[in-house]
A and B are shown apart, each in its own frame.
Chain A
Amino acid sequence: MSQTTTQRAATRTGAVVEFSGVAKRYGTHLALTEFDLTLRAGELVALLGPSGSGKTTALRVLAGLESCDDGGIRIDGDDVSALPTSRRDMGMVFQSYSLFPHLSAGENVEFGLRMRRVPAPERRERAAAALALVGLDAHYDRFAHQLSGGQQQRVALARALVTQPRVLLLDEPLSALDAKVRVQLRDQIRRIQTDLGITTLFVTHDQDEALAVADRVAVMRDGRIEQVGTPEELYTRPATPFIADFVGLSNRLPGVVRHGFAEVHGVVLPLLDPSHPDGAVQVFVRQEDLTLAPAGPGEAGPADQSGRSLAGTVLISSFLGSLRRTSVRLAQGGTVVVQHDVRDRLQVGDSVMVRFSGAPVPVQAAS
């Protein structure tokens, strides 16, 4: 490989992408509104949200597959809002299998280079290299129907990367795959993205996927970004109850806020936002912030002496391989789900104490 090509690869990757005030309407439905997001050079940002939150629309607007009704998009400072898709210089992997069925895997990968009038020998060389990058160099002559779903998506990834695009767009590329392949390909995408240093926008509705691969995650709701942050920030300091509920697995419990603390059935917990006004609230407590202990003879009451535990009865306990998930009906009413060590076997009807770890909790004013 020539030094020039290496340098070109270095200079072509890692673009800065800026959405500013982007809006998109479908009839009367606002799919995107006041959408602001900046992707730093070489960063992988995941757009996470429930169905209909506008995440795919945002990606399609960036790709030029949808026009934006308001606002603009800049890549490295250049306004690309008016450019057709074919001239935006982006690579994209779609949710559904999108390999051209009449072309072999190698020819699929060559397609973007052919459109750029790259000479045939160089085309073949670069396509083979791109396929090698995803571990499919031996499948150059296979057609889409001769490849598994995971292999097809890897060829699609090679096809998207071979032109050295400024930005890589991934539109739920793993959603059609089975769980094991999904995790393998997810890790492979992250490794390749990090190695190439290509700015990437990854759309997904799967929070595990988003938290596992992204440098930053933007959680979307109703066409807007609710919060942008590192996976850890989102998980430990959710800005809104929606995020607390959407990211991770939380229990919702009725409680009261008094003087900057939340109280749930007598258990006092610190607030994530201590400035929250007093009043009735819904308290979000993560499953892993609760632990279970057998109820002792002196703990027959609804709360123990420490003030951090509540008594309850096991409703159901599920074995999940590496952990166990148990539902407990609290003596004061309501049900909580607790994740715990797989070796702690509980029977339905067992009396237990549910202990709160004391981690700060987000709350939402009760409606």
Chain B
Amino acid sequence: MSGGFRTTGGVAHAPSRFVRGLILGVVGLVFVVPFVAMVEFTLRRGLVGGYDLHRWTELFQGGLTGEYKPVLVALGNSVGLALGTVAIILLLLVPTMLLVHIRFRRLRRALEIICILPISIPAIVLVVGLAPVFSVVARLVGSGVWTLAFAYGITVLPFAYRAIQANLDGVDVRTLSEAARTLGAGWGSVLLRVLVPNLRRGILAGAFIAVAVVLGEFTIASLLNRVNLQTALVVVSKNDPYTAVILSLIALLVAFALLMAIGRLGAPRRSRTRRAVTASPPQTATPTLTPTGDRP
């Protein structure tokens, strides 16, 4: 057994601090190298050699409001689409999964197959099928870029389904909902006050993946002639690769901020130590449940 793993009687436990640091370092490096390379690329002075910030300063001294304004619009589109896709997950997928889990358990397998199916269909094939559907959608609700959220809702299904299902399997949803109903909760309260808080981790993971997939999506938007962040960046990169990379970095920062905001919104409650001190039940509480035997 490697010295990096603490063992008891030949059974391996958690890796040592050094091994953990090493693993984290290697994985971190894989993530950091592309970012560093991108930053390094944007700082190059071209044929002259050396580094400076002139491309960044030029861009922010009017560039973003001028010829690169479409990229900002596209970033807005993508963020809007990400939020729309998350809304589809929250309002359509989560209730459907809960309904199937609690009331129609025989449909679980069918739902799983339907949700996993999109991952086996290449984006190009998906678009071929979606094109006629979108012509109908365009006639009904217009051809606004937001309509792409319907397509993205389908592409993120496999990821979101898996994340939520893993959480769902670990919670006795049926008993919890029955307990809440016997306590006087209607279905709305059961969903919002009992089930969603206990499925927070799975729903958050699903939302994370949805945001990540949507912000990086190119094929469907390009083939359906809609503008999102990735299609706009491709257009820019054809004229000015340096600016395209700067904008990509900005887009990544926005994506990180969005993911962190979602994570913060859904973070579980912290320790109750403070609450225990400040809001402990009154010590002189008058018992409301009075045993009949104690009555005068």
Contacts and interface: CB of A to CB of B under 8 A. Distances in A.
Interface in A23-68: 63-65
Given A9-B288, A86-B186, A100-B194, A111 B281 contact: no
Interface stretch (B46-54, B74-82, B117-125, B171-179): B171-179
Contacts of A125: 281-282, 285-286, 288
Contacts of B269: 102
Interface string A277-315: 000000000000000000000000000000000000000
Given A100-B198, A115-B185, A196 B289 contact: yes
Given A133-B289, A137-B281, A102 B197 contact: yes
A96 interface: yes
Contacts of A126: 285, 288-289
Given A102-B198, A111-B180, A96 B285 contact: no
Contacts of A322: none
Contacts of B6: none
A100 B182 contact: no
Contacts of B185: 86, 111, 115
B189 interface: yes
B17 interface: no
Interface in B270-292: 272, 275-276, 279-282, 285-292
B134 to A, nearest CB: 40
Interface residues of A, number: 59
Contact of A159 (B183, B186, B268, B286): B183
A6 B296 CA distance: 11
Nearest to B269: A102
B295 interface: yes
A91 B194 CA distance: 17
A100 B295 contact: no
A104 B269 CA distance: 11
Given A92-B179, A94-B178, A9 B290 contact: yes
Nearest to A131: B281
B293 A194 contact: yes
A132 B285 contact: yes
Interface of B: 171-172, 175-176, 178-186, 189, 193-194, 197-198, 200, 268-269, 272, 275-276, 279-282, 285-295
Given A125-B282, A169-B182, 17 more contacts: A5-B288, A6-B290, A9-B289, A63-B182, A84-B181, A86-B186, A89-B184, A92-B179, A100-B179, A102-B200, A116-B184, A124-B281, A129-B289, A156-B179, A161-B289, A164-B289, A195-B294
